[in-house]
Structure 1
Amino acid sequence: MQRRSVLQAAALAGLSPLARADAYPSRTVRLIVPFAPGGTTDIIARIVSERMQGLLGQTMVVDNRAGGGGIVGATEIARAAPDGYTLGVATVSTTAANPAINPRISYNPLTDFTPIINIAATPNVIAVHPSFPARDYKGFVAELRKNPAKHSYATSGTGGIGHLQMELYKTLAGVFVLHIPYRGAGPALNDTVAGQVPMIFDNLPSALPFIRDGRLIPIVVAAPQRVAALPNVPTFREIGLEPVNRMAYYGIHGPKGLPREVVDKVNAAVRKAVEMPDVKKRIEDTGSIIIANTPEQFAAQIAAELDVYKKVVAQQKLKLD
């Protein structure tokens, strides 16, 4: 009898994550945010993870791993054990823009992750410091053409969506602005608001509080239509630059090989969280649109976005500095 108990204990200890997935989660879950605190990725992750904790019955710890336009954090997600205890936020920067322009990335965005759910999508915005000599798009582009080597712009990092979209904008608009990369949107915003950098290409949720306070001036947004919070600000489509008019997404994914039971539990928890009125309001108040789709739908979105940015890089001959 004692020998049988020992064998049973050994067998249980040796069960694969797939075989034990029905008990998930039985301990703390780490959610890697591949950017510094304060940016949109961080904001969305914290809003949702707060409620996911109660739904999953375990603590969720947000772990900011900034660097390389999201590459550092994304690489850590890809290398994690496929047991569901290390998940990460998937963004356009980490799964499409950066992989499209950076040949040195060590992960494949289509094969090295398990897509779980796209939480929300959000507009992007070009905003300037109040000291900038223009407060609307017409004056903005006129100033850039008049002084082609004078101004610079901040982004969350080299190869991120802000960098790639701004470089595409520069090419299509025929202007030049120097890129100043940061280790996340938070630090980039701080320096732009402080006037250290005159402009930023950022996700709207992280920039919007500063816009509302008058510490940043919105110039143009990437959105399907004008944003309710910025009714006087045109979209890139309106100014004739449709290729730049793409929104960002914020989803959750894990390393490849994540058990389907884990995927389904996390997907269900996110769906329930974003249905809560307070969570829904907090996300929508940032200017974001809740998506909450299936793993398969999110995987298709990632593949489509990667294809778009690969074509942008090839057509515009974009390269890292």
Structure 2
Amino acid sequence: MRHLARALAVLLAAGFTAAASAQAPADFPKQPIRTVVTFPPGGSADAVVRMLVPRLNEKLGQQVIVDNRPGAGGNIGLSIVAKAPPDGYTLGVGAAGALSANSSLYEKMPFDPLKDFKPVSMLAAIPFVIIGNPSVAAKTQKDLIALAKSQPGKLSIAHGGNGTAMHLSAALFSQMADVKLVEVPYKGSGPAALDVLAGNVPLAVVDLPSALQHIKAGKLVAYAVTSPQRLPQLPDVPTVSEAGLGGYDSTGWFGVVAPAGTPQAIVNRLNAEITGALNDEHIKASMRNLGVEPAPTKPEEFEAYIRAETQKWAKVIRTANIKIEQ
């Protein structure tokens, strides 16, 4: 009986410890939270974070400070987060590049995306659209693939820069369609869309805000969207998968991570407040006006997604022999 009583006491103590560890410390946060955004001010990721800040300030009772640290495909900003104390007071906002693809694109990385961070929540998904100048002799994706097969290495496709999600989207399209397109890097989605509009390059993979008004005006042809579902802004434009390349999925995204070792209870508290903000109807509408889709996730869901994306893009990058010079 004494042994049984002692065992029960141990089990009860463990239960109380687990319950306590499931809750963030009562005084968290007790100081401002620095959020390192790996993009410059004015971009969609920066805009989304700043949309969330007022609500987070209110719910957390402390100021969330935005610290923009762009460069090296997000590696500069996230290297700061990886080295920060794991106490919940330094967070990072990184995208698909730095958190999944860069480990295959760069010969040397300042951190290990799968080991040096604790995912908190995805913030947003960014669908892309494959566009063309109306002068291109193809009106559908099927036509486009047939045209590319008839002219291997002749058609050019612009994207938002080497190593970006748009670049990888173009590479994945070429691989799945078994076509050879000349990939042309631009300094961002906007310039790429404008050059297609001007007829300087026939095709491009760009984000939705860069092309939407021109598509609706009939000045650009939208062949397909790269996301798994159609977009409410372009309900008549099929997905790449629907249009013939079954299983194609290339969606840009960005989300919040904390340094590895951050207590799960703190991660859970941050996740609850971030996802609560992302589910706010006013914030959702504002994000969709930017051309991004709110994507609140649980920490374990975000972690699994990062791992899956890392494996997928490693294969695409290896096949396309894409490397970023450092």
| 1:178 match | 183
1:277-316 aligned at under 5 Å gives the runs: 277-286=281-290, 288-314=292-318, 316=319
Moved more, 110-119 or 211-220: 211-220
Gaps of 5+ in 1: 1-19
| Per-residue deviation, residues 267-303 of structure 1 (Å, max 9, x unmatched) | 1111221232201222344554443222122111111
- Give the Cα separation in 2 of the matches to 1:61 and 1:138: 48
| 1:98 match | 102
1:202-213 aligned at under 5 Å gives the runs: 202-204=206-208, 208=212, 211=215
| Per-residue deviation, residues 156-215 of structure 1 (Å, max 9, x unmatched) | x43232222212222333122233153xxxx44245336687454344366546655777
Do 1:123 and 1:221's aligned partners in 2 also have CA atoms closer than 8 Å?
yes
Task: Tell me the secondary structure at the aligned position of residue 306 of structure 2.
Answer: helix
- Give the Cα separation in 1 of the matches to 2:84 and 2:39: 17
| 1:31 match | 35
- Give the Cα separation in 1 of the matches to 2:316 and 2:294: 26
- Give the Cα separation in 2 of the matches to 1:313 and 1:292: 28
Task: Tell me the secondary structure at the aligned position of residue 250 of structure 1.
Answer: strand
What is the aligned-residue identity percentage?
A: 32
1:224-239 aligned at under 5 Å gives the runs: 224-239=228-243
- Give the Cα separation in 2 of the matches to 1:212 and 1:69: 31
Do 1:34 and 1:67's aligned partners in 2 also have CA atoms closer than 8 Å?
yes
Amino acid in the other structure paired with 2:156: H
| 1:268 match | 272
| 1:319 match | 322
Match of 2:158 among 150, 153, 170: 153
| 1:45 match | 49
Do 1:122 and 1:287's aligned partners in 2 also have CA atoms closer than 8 Å?
yes
- Give the Cα separation in 1 of the matches to 2:193 and 2:113: 31
Displacement after TM superposition at 1:249 (Å): 2.9
Q: Sort the Cα spacing of 1:29 and 1:168 in 2 relative to 1 into closer, same or farther, 3 A.
A: same
- Give the Cα separation in 2 of the matches to 1:283 and 1:311: 31
Do 1:220 and 1:235's aligned partners in 2 also have CA atoms closer than 8 Å?
yes
Q: How many pairs are equivalent?
A: 296
| 1:81 match | 85
Amino acid in the other structure paired with 1:256: A
| 1:189 match | 190
Do 2:193 and 2:211's aligned partners in 1 also have CA atoms closer than 8 Å?
no
Task: Tell me the secondary structure at the aligned position of residue 305 of structure 1.
Answer: helix
Do 2:123 and 2:296's aligned partners in 1 also have CA atoms closer than 8 Å?
yes
Task: Tell me the secondary structure at the aligned position of residue 263 of structure 1.
Answer: helix
| Per-residue deviation, residues 96-125 of structure 1 (Å, max 9, x unmatched) | 122233332221111011111123334222
Do 1:102 and 1:159's aligned partners in 2 also have CA atoms closer than 8 Å?
no
Q: Sort the Cα spacing of 1:191 and 1:164 in 2 relative to 1 into closer, same or farther, 3 A.
A: closer
Amino acid in the other structure paired with 2:322: K
Q: Sort the Cα spacing of 1:111 and 1:210 in 2 relative to 1 into closer, same or farther, 3 A.
A: farther
Displacement after TM superposition at 1:142 (Å): 5.9
Do 1:43 and 1:206's aligned partners in 2 also have CA atoms closer than 8 Å?
no
- Give the Cα separation in 1 of the matches to 2:112 and 2:305: 15
| 1:17 match | none
| 2:224 match | 220
Displacement after TM superposition at 1:253 (Å): 0.6
CA RMSD, Structure 1 to Structure 2 (Å): 3.2
- Give the Cα separation in 1 of the matches to 2:154 and 2:53: 43
Q: Sort the Cα spacing of 1:99 and 1:233 in 2 relative to 1 into closer, same or farther, 3 A.
A: same
TM superposition score normalised by structure 1? 0.77
Amino acid in the other structure paired with 1:90: G
Moved more, 305-314 or 228-237: 305-314
Do 1:82 and 1:254's aligned partners in 2 also have CA atoms closer than 8 Å?
yes
Displacement after TM superposition at 1:147 (Å): 8.0
Amino acid in the other structure paired with 2:305: Q
